[in-house]
Amino acid sequence: MALKRPGPPGSSGSPAGPVPPDVSGSPGSPAAGDAGPAPSGEWDGLCDMYLGHLRVERGLSGNTVEAYGRDLADLRAYFAGKGLEGPARAGRGDIQGFVLHLAGKGIGPRSRARKLSAVKGFFAFLEEEGLAAADCASGVEGPKLPRPLPKALTREEAERLVVSPDLSRPGGLRNRAMFELLYAGGLRVSELSGLTLGQLNLPESYLRVRGKGSKDRLVPLGDEAASWIRRYLAEERPSQDRAGNAGALFLSARGRALSRQYVWKLITQHAALAGIRHASPHVLRHSFATHLVDGGADLRAVQAMMGHAGLGSTEIYLKTTDARLKSVHTRRHPRSGS
3-state secondary structure labels for all residues of 168-211:
CCCCHHHHHHHHHHHHHHCCCHHHHHCCEHHHEECCCCEEEEEC
Q: Residue 41 — pLDDT band, cuts 50, 70, 90?
A: low
Asked if residue 236 has pLDDT above 90, the reply is: yes
SS3 218: strand
Per-residue pLDDT, 14 = 36
Mean pLDDT score across all residues of the chain:
78
Q: Residue 201 — pLDDT band, cuts 50, 70, 90?
A: very high
Residue 171 exposed, middle or buried by CB count within 10 Å (0-12, 13-18, 19+): buried
Average pLDDT over residues 69-95: 86
Q: Where does 155-332 sit in CATH, by number?
A: 1.10.443.10
- The CATH topology of domain 40-128 is DNA polymerase; domain 1 (1.10.150)
SS3 262: helix
Per-residue pLDDT, 266 = 95
Query: Under the phi-then-psi rule, with left for phi > 0, alpha for psi from -120 to 50, and beta for the rest, what region is 84?
Result: beta
201 phi, psi to nearest 5 deg: -125, 90
Q: Residue 277 — pLDDT band, cuts 50, 70, 90?
A: confident
- Give the range among 123-127, 208-212, 294-298 with minimum mean pLDDT: 294-298
* Chain segment 159-184, per-residue pLDDT in tens: 999 999 999 999 999 999 999 999 88
Q: Residue 310 — pLDDT band, cuts 50, 70, 90?
A: low
Sorted by sequence, the CB contacts under 8 Å of residue 70 that are 6+ apart come out as none
> What pTM, to 2 d.p., does this model score?
0.53
Per-residue pLDDT, 252 = 93
Per-residue pLDDT, 40 = 55
188 or 328, greater pLDDT: 188
Helices 40-52 and 109-128, packing angle to 10 deg? 90
Torsion, Cα 108 113 115 120, to 10 degrees, reads: 160
Asked if residue 243 has pLDDT above 70, the reply is: yes
Query: Is the CB of residue 176 less than 8 Å from the CB of residue 159?
Result: no
Supply the residues annotated as catalytic: 188, 212, 282, 285, 308, 317
Q: Residue 73 — pLDDT band, cuts 50, 70, 90?
A: very high
Domain boundaries, the chain: 40-128, 155-332
24 or 248, greater pLDDT: 248
Per-residue pLDDT, 288 = 85
Q: What is the rounded CA–CA span in Å between residue 122 and residue 116?
A: 10
Same fold: 40-128 with 155-332: no
Residue 180's identity, in one-letter code, is: E
If one counts every other C-beta atom within 10 angstroms of the C-beta of residue 183, the result is 22
Query: Is the CB of residue 176 less than 8 Å from the CB of residue 228?
Result: yes
Per-residue pLDDT, 258 = 93
